[in-house]
Every structure is written in C-alpha cells, then in structure tokens.
C-alpha cells in the first residue's frame, strides 16, 4: 500500500455515515464530533446542503473546516477566556490565535459513538473538570428522515455544583452570488474589533434579516436577538432552498458572512457572545443557563431542504 493510499484508508476509517435513501450524512467523531457533509443526489450530481469538508480538513481532524460542529459548553467567545461565577474565578486557556477560548470544548475533542443505526447516530463527549471546573457530558443525536436532517444537542452537569452553560450548532452553508437568507429577528449586538459585544441595537437598514438579505452584500459576524427560531436559505440560481427550525432555548442566531468566501454561517445558539461576563446585568437577555448537579438541557434543530420540481 502506498503512503497516499494508506492515508486515504485511514481517513475513511475515521468517518461514519448515515443515510435514509435520499440524503447521506458523513460524520467525523474524532474531529470534534463534526459533520463532514450533508448531501442529496440529483441526476447523478451531488447537492450539498452544508459546505462539505475537503480531504485535507478531514486528515487534519479540523472541525472548523467541516460542515457543522457542536458548540458546548457555550457559543462564541469569552473575553480573554475569563469570567466569574458563584464566587469563583475561571480562567480558560488562551493564545495568540485563540485569545477568547472560542466555542468551548466540544469541537476540540473526539466524541464517542454510542449508537449507530442506518439513519441515526448518537455521539457523546465527556469533559472532566480542569480549567473549566465542572464535569459534564454532551450528546448529539443526528438523524435523517425523508431527506431532512435533525440534530439534537444536550448537555448534562456531572459535577456537584451549579454550572453555567450555553450550547448550539455551527453549520456552514455554501455561498453563491445570489444566496439569500431570511430570519425574523428583533435586534443585534454591535461588536468591538475583537468581535465581542458592546451595544445592543436595532436592526440595520438595508440588511435586516427579518426582511431578507443577499449574503454577498453584507459583512456580518453578529449575534441577532429576538430570533423566532426559523430561517430560510435560498439559492435561486439552483432553485433550491433550506428551512431551519430550532427549539428553545436556541433563541439567538449568529450570522457570519465573510466577504469573498464560498461559505457563510447561520448558527442557532442559546447564548449571546461573552454571556458569562454579563450574567449580573438584569437588563440583558444573555441566554445563560445554570444547570444544577445532574440537570440536563437539550434542544433540536431541523434542516429541511427542497428542490424545485
């Protein structure tokens, strides 16, 4: 076996798949429990509803370059990786390329497969207390039915003290010149140079997700508030659309639309950015959840594609 073929074989063994006969999802448990792809086939050609990971990303086990990864035990950034909770000072590891310990633990560690059937899989990640001084368990249930992708993410506090938590999903979608997004929201957080929230404001004129916008015409890296937990993405040049439906407490939507990139993100999440540092402000809905010992919180997200007929 050549070096390249050995690498390909090793890569294949890292992936597991589910299928319902219409859709197929590939998953890389070792790469942060991330989805590698979610696709249909039309006239022999792949229709990718999420941005598919390339072989190099799979080989690197790079969850950030996958199709979707889990956000636990919080979404987005904590300023300088530091916060106070219940009289405790928590300092998470930071570095020049990750100054705010972005997106927590789940995407950084392997997940175990605890159940795998033809069209459903359950993944689990267990975190032992360290710089994050609480032990917890997270699960993802990923399933397909009639071509629709359903994902449920859950977090359970395994420690003997209350634990602050947030969670969600970080999906990447293909971006084309005409990709359009509509999602009913009521406000948004302006951010500083480090993409940390500084001011809650009304929606911007000309780029209001409630009315809808073309991805190619905006530059968002923003938490939107008052989200109705519904969004629609359309690719009119391909006559395709995807509806997203989330469950409470995924009440916030992060939109990330980097200019010139072939992807964008629409992330259903339960907390605003830097939520743990704002918990004492009663005028702000941070979305922070406090789990008592043994308590569990979960929510589902459903992705429903459709093609013009």
Tens digit of pLDDT for each residue in 23-60?
A: 999 999 999 999 999 999 888 889 999 999 999 999 99
Average pLDDT over residues 193-204: 95
CA-atom Rg of the chain in angstroms = 19
Cβ-contact 206, 85 below 8 angstroms: no
What confidence tier does 309 reach under pLDDT thresholds 50, 70, 90? low
Q: How many CB atoms lie within 10 A of CB 133?
A: 13
Is the preceding omega at residue 249 within 30 degrees of 0, hence cis? Answer: yes
pTM for the whole structure: 0.94
Cβ-contact 241, 279 below 8 angstroms: no
Quick check: 5 pLDDT over 70?
Answer: no
Lowest mean pLDDT among 65-79, 118-132, 202-216: 202-216
Tens digit of pLDDT for each residue in 60-114?
A: 999 999 999 999 999 999 999 999 999 999 999 999 999 999 999 999 999 999 9
Q: Please give the CATH number for the structural domain made up of 3-307.
A: 2.70.98.10
Rounded Cα distance between 226 and 196, Å, is 19
Compute the mean pLDDT over every residue in the chain, rounded to the nearest whole number. 94
What confidence tier does 9 reach under pLDDT thresholds 50, 70, 90? very low
Tens digit of pLDDT for each residue in 162-195?
A: 999 999 999 999 999 999 999 999 999 999 999 9
Quick check: 1 pLDDT over 80?
Answer: no
With tokens 């911007």, the residue in question is: 204
Structural domain boundaries in the chain = 3-307
The pair phi, psi for residue 234, each rounded to 5°, is -130, 145
């Amino acid at each position: 076996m050549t070096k390249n073929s050995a690498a390909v074989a090793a890569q294949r063994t890292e992936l597991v798949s589910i299928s319902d006969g219409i859709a197929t999802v590939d998953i890389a448990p070792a790469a942060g429990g991330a989805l590698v792809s979610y696709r249909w086939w039309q006239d022999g050609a792949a229709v990718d509803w999420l941005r598919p990971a390339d072989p190099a990303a799979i080989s690197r086990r790079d969850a950030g370059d996958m199709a979707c990864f889990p956000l636990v035990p919080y979404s987005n950034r904590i300023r300088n990786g530091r916060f106070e909770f219940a009289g405790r000072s928590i300092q998470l590891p930071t570095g020049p390329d990750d100054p705010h310990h972005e997106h927590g633990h789940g995407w950084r560690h392997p997940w175990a497969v605890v159940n795998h059937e033809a069209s459903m899989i359950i993944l689990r990640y267990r975190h032992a207390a360290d710089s994050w001084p609480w032990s917890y368990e997270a699960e993802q249930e990923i399933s397909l039915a009639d071509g629709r992708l359903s994902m449920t993410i859950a977090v359970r506090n395994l420690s003997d003290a209350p634990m602050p938590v947030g969670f969600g999903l970080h999906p990447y979608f293909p971006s084309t010149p005409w990709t359009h997004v509509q999602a009913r929201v009521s406000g948004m957080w302006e951010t500083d140079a480090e993409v940390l929230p500084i001011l809650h404001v009304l929606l911007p004129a000309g780029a209001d997700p409630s009315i809808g916008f073309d991805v190619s015409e905006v530059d968002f890296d923003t938490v939107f508030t008052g989200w109705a937990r519904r969004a629609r993405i359309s690719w009119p040049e391909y006559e395709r659309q995807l509806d997203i439906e989330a469950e409470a407490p995924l009440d916030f939507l992060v939109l990330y639309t980097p200019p010139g990139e072939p992807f964008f993100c629409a992330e259903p999440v339960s907390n605003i950015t830097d939520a743990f540092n704002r918990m004492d402000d009663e005028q702000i809905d941070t979305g922070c959840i406090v789990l008592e010992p043994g308590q569990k919180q979960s929510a589902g997200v459903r992705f429903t594609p459709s093609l013009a007929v």
